[in-house]
Structure 1
Amino acid sequence: MLVSGLGLPELAQLLDRADQGVIELDPAWNVVHCSPAAERILRIDGAGAAGRPFADVLRIDDRSGGIESICRAVERDGTWRGEVRHGLPEDVRWAELSVHTLARPGNAPATVCLLRDITAFKAKEGTLREQERRYRLLAENARDVIWTADLSLKFTYVSPSVERLRGFTPEEAMKQTLAEVLTPAALQRASQTLAEELALEMSPQRDIHRMRVIELEERHKNGSTVQTEITLSFLRNEKLEVVGVLGVTRDVTERNRAVQALRRTEERYRITAEQTGQVFFEWDIATGQIEWSGAGEHLTGQSRLEFRTLTRSQWEGWVHPEDRARVIALMQQAMATPGPYSTEYRFLRKDGSYAVVEAHGVVVHGDASAPSRMLGTVRDISERKRLDDALRESQRAMTVLIHNLPGMVYRCRNDRDWTMEYLSPACEALTGYPTEALIGNQSLSYNDLIEESHREQVWEDWQRVLQEHGVYRGEYAIRRKDGALRWVWEQGCGVYSESGDVLALEGFISDITERKLAEQERSSLEEQLRQSQKMEAIGQLAGGVAHDFNNILTCINGFTEMLMSTMGPSEPIFLDLLEVKKAADRAASLTSQLLAFSRKQVIAPRVMDLNTALRPAARMIQRIIGEDVELRLQLDDCAGRIKADPGQIEQILINLAVNARDALADGGKVVLDTGCIRLDEEQSRQLAGSKPGAFAFIGVADNGCGMTPEVREHIFEPFFTTKAQGKGTGLGLSTVYGIVQQNGGFIDVHSEPGVGSTFRIFLPSVPEEVEAPEPRRSSPVPCGRAVILLVEDEEMVRKMILRILERQGYTVMVAHGPMEAIAMSEQFPGSIDLLLSDVVMPELNGRQLHARLEASRPGLRVLYMSGYPENALSHEGVLEPGIPFLAKPFAVDALLRKLGDVLGG
């Protein structure tokens, strides 16, 4: 009898119901008896196994240690217990094997082997390992930065995501020290945290699974900082000694999106397998006494002496209170109803913890058919339960993570269609198609979605990465189901067999359309800014040159006119002086255009009806372009009113007409049109230099030779021209540009070589009524009887004006600058009738000088003169009302008439 008088057949029957195989061996370890459960587990014929060596029947894999090591352990200890691989090479299986030597009174000791098939359990362990591999792969492709460092805090690994987080490539990041990565405050906190963790490592509270989460501020490559959350833990060797630091760095700005899905719990990293405990019991129903054998110490934590006299009431007390009533009721039902039973419940260990156990049993009836004993097994399945829970948690966490990622997770084949085997639910948000439409190419392939011009590049890049066993990162466009074009970013890598063959591709695809649009808009704005800065710099230079030229031209014109006034037209030198005058006038026209480009031209804008102003100009344009060019007018009534200087509008039309004429060497057509437009924020971003609002436009289009993009880029720069030397100044379109800018508008140009060019001038629409132009008055040149204080810092101009005024009979006081003029005024006892002053001077401008003089000479009249007055008399070139002003260069008669108007006003 093996257990309390129970024979082997009875024990085999009992264990067979619990799928527990029993094999009895003789002293030579030959099979004496093999139970049906053992036959099923080992897949043998029990009758044929009798008498055969146990090693031949079990067929243990050499990696399990071999039958010899088991024999030695049994001879030495009387028992052996462990897990073994067995079976044929094509059908390897796992079993839990217990070998015991049992004493039998009056008989030789029996060697009994107990078997339990754990192949399914081992397969579940493999599934968990595969789940961990997939998780690591996903973590490697996630947006978090994973890094390791040695104990000197020198980085030993930094994942590719560091470039998105901090702008540094992994190679650059690996070379950085903590002081280069962290801000000073963050470095101090990191150092303190590490010191605390190392101190804990040396204390009784040491925990090899401990992690620490801290928030630190890190430096970005562009000079900014990034707020991050870092999860730290120690790297350990096989002896559990600390050899380094493992960190996972996350941009906390993404926390609200995916923190729950990305949080890693300790359970996911701590899926382990513990030895499964197996206990045999026999319960004497009459006495309540329970006898145990097997792994009772492992299951309960009690010693053999402590549980040898275990009673039913003690056992019931060890069952978890929540399970106790159910288990007792099950036992009573088993005693009342013949047949086996099985159940699971929680069992109290000596240390106060509970083990989850699986119990199987059968009731043995006595002679009177009354239940006398209950035989069974109790096995610790806590580990299996933990693994099941961990697997479910891992699957749940993986599902939550994938569902909350801002993009699509995929697994596909390496074929031209990118045949999908798995797609996360984000597929529909990204592509517009449900997952089932793309998996297996049911409705279409993923390659069909990739923009045709990008397909070959994506394929070539992927094949290169696979050959290098690297990581693919790429950006390309796809076409959604609704037809919308979206830009995506993909990161992934190959899954390889042991032989290196590509089994599949796995990775992540996210929508970056908004980022691409922002990059394009930023690039466009940067180009506009560069162009604006360039034109502003050229404008400053042009304005300064024009100012100096105007002073020179004022002298040339003035002295030339004075010489011409002393002789008749018949004298030979008169014609020469006339040519000098014409050349000076042409130079004055050029400086006027330079001032227009630099937005320093003094203007007098008024409200006008655009169409009314353009109709008379059509005849002028026809004369400019010639009779061999057809002119068409297309004036839209919606053009409405603008506020501008009529002379400047005429300048625009003349310059655009000349430009069109030069493009139509062999005749053609010019269209002059008007219209209106209202721009919102989005539309204004599409038109360079524009802003939201209502605009009227003037369009001049020709079907001439057109322009290349290179020429188009420079057309508004002063002195840029494509004409032959001597055929143009290169100031026409730059003048148009300056006038439009000065009036708060913008220009839109379209041109194509061989097709023609279209210029559209957009000027702000105004609601005011049309202003009638002031009538022109022609007054005679007055004779001088007044005292004039002349203030001019340019010596040549000063001498020329003095000569003019004295010849006309004026009394002139001459000052070289503002401070000298103030001193002369204070010292002069008589009255001063008029201040004739330059505007732009050192120390004080002309307006400030007049204010100082008027304080002591109330009512002092003033006439300002300047090549350009900057902002002393105007705002953005618009002359303030009532300001007497004479623009340089001026004619002698113009100066004298203007003086007469001011003095007589």
Structure 2
Amino acid sequence: MSSPAGETYLDALFEASPIGMAVFDSSLRYVRINRALAEMNGVAAAEHIGRTMREVIPELAPTADPILRRALTSSEGIHRIPVSGETRAQPGVERHWIASWLPIEVRGERGVAFFVEERTEQVAAERALRASELRFRGMSEAAPLGIFLTDVDGNVVYSNPAAQRMLGRSAEELQGDGWTRVVHVDDQEALFRRVEEGRASGGTFMFDVRATRADGTLVWGEIVSQVLFDGERPVGRVSLMTDVTERRRMLMALHESEDLFRELSENVDAVFYIARPESSQVDFVSRGFETIWGRSPDELRRNPRIWLDAIHPDDRSRVVEAFERDRTTFRAEYRVVRPDGAMRWISDRSFPVRNAAGEVVRIAGVATDETTRHTLEAQLLQSQRMESIGRLAGGVAHDFNNLLTVILSHAAFARQDPLHADEDLTAVTRAGARAAELTRQLLAFARRQVIEPRVVDLNALTTQTDRMLRRLIGEHVELVTELEPELWPVKVDPAQMEQVLVNLAVNARDALPGGGTVTIETAKVTLDEGYAATHADVAPGDYVMLAVSDNGSGIDPALLPMIFEPFFTTKPSGMGTGLGLATCYGIVRQAGGHIWAYSEPGQGATFKVYLPRAHGVPGEAAPAATMGQVRGDETVLLVEDDASVRAIAARALRAHGFTVLEAGDGVQALEVARGYGGEIHVVVTDVVMPRMGGKELAARLAEERPRTRVLFASGYTRNAIVHQGVLEVGRNFLQKPYVPATLAQKVREVLDAPEAEGSGA
């Protein structure tokens, strides 16, 4: 290559080079500059020639000029010096270069060749990387998670303090492949397999691993590992480790608890359930549901309404009302009817399950089969009732003898002087009414009853029972009543509450062998959250309190917890069965209330019954009819096996204008009906009679005379004959004894009632 050609070639390289180049003479003036450097300086190449750096780019001269002068006298030059500053091309922007200066000969004199390489972007990248590294290190040092950086071969190049604390190892112990030695031996094979799978897939993977700390304890770690790439080339992994040892322990404890709960729930004679508060969807129900309800748990989970449909119709509205009032603290006793028709008594109670924020997320509950208890309570109730009736017998006989004396005497006086018999007849009527009331109380008290709760005034009930109570407690004990006016109504079975009063009063009397005072009180009370919290199974709200107190010697504190237990008694043999207070307890609980005993030695005892306030108006008896109020001209077939009662009833009906046909039993009544050519508008029949009773008679007449209405009469209570299957619910019924006007009034009501309502057959 000739010299001119070589120079041309070098000139081309000089101009085309991306590296900035310039040549300075001995005066440090530009002799030559290429395009790259001119662009860096932001000054045209021609404007450089013959001028110094200070003249062309004065902003860089303070830094570069001293180095340029030093290079002029240097034998080896100055290499790769970082230079920073601003240029005219980009004012206000700091730029960075790497510059080198070499001494050369220029025009026969010493000069300097200058080479500069732009590295502004590289410096920015280095700074960003350095800042990123500082941020990463700061975060990793403070992070609660364990952080590991590994190279492509899986060797640890960095572990943060949290990782070292979790594993109880130093950074040096974890460096390289040291981390593999802390992994539990049983987990190593699975871990290495997961690492290889992750390496092959190049993605993220998760795994749990056990590690052995330096002190020998085990730690569970949950690891998430992600491949790091440089472009498309994997350069290592970053792995995050969470200490889940406590979570693992809690899960194991939870599983053990669940297993224990499931074992208990499947082997205890009760139903455990968990439901959702917003929908009542059942999440869990134990196997006991099938035993008690006769339906599978799967059926209930698929259709929660099975629970409601199984509740006895007479209990359903009460249970639904209690459930809707507060389903999270639901508490009720009710009956369920199984698919096979069998009935079970259920005690059901639920409580809320809350999350950490206090929100109710589930309802948990337990339902137990209380059928046996209810059966025993019914037996106790009847036994106690019979015991009380035994006590009443003497007093009742005495009262009846007194009443009969009044009736017979005034009847004799009336016969002797018929013209002045009004006062005698009035006395006979009053005595008869008192006898009827006494009989009614005795029947109601003695019957095996189906519970008939209704809204009642406890003051009125106490007043009505007063006479019977005074007979029971005797003359040596004073009975005092203190009844709060305008008492709230309660919903109870009146006959059962009479028995509670009798039992408590007799119990108080027995505590006063030498005489004393029994006090019966009523009051309106409101029980607050504080009271409910200290008394089991008590809900806050309005209650009516009935208290029975005595001023006897009191109850031994050691015996108080046992006094409501069946057959527990402190009385001498033959003086008590131990059923009285147990019976009271069962009746009160069945009414939704509770009963407590308060006593101190020498201070007497008080039994307080709390019954929930009811809404409604207590029922009142209709005003009695008089002889002249009711008239009729219809035909009545009167069927009564007692001739004297039949004669009185026939006389009463005829006195009110009715035509009366008489029969002594059902068979004779059919004969009379078949022989009578006219219309028989109503049959008044006793329920229980020889040969054919009233129920069968009504059925036979319904076939032969479908338009004839029927009125049943009996000395038994309606409830008793319905419960014993003698008569169906809903039939027209008249309770004996009755007065003529009442009989006529009832016949008139049956005749005037709409067709469906008045039909007794």
Indicate the structure (1 or 2) with the bigger Cα radius of gyration.
Answer: 2
TM range (shorter): 0.3 to 0.5
Q: Which has the higher contact order (CA 8 A, sep 6+)?
A: 1
TM-score of the superposed pair, with normalisation by structure 2: 0.34
TM-score of the superposed pair, with normalisation by structure 1: 0.30
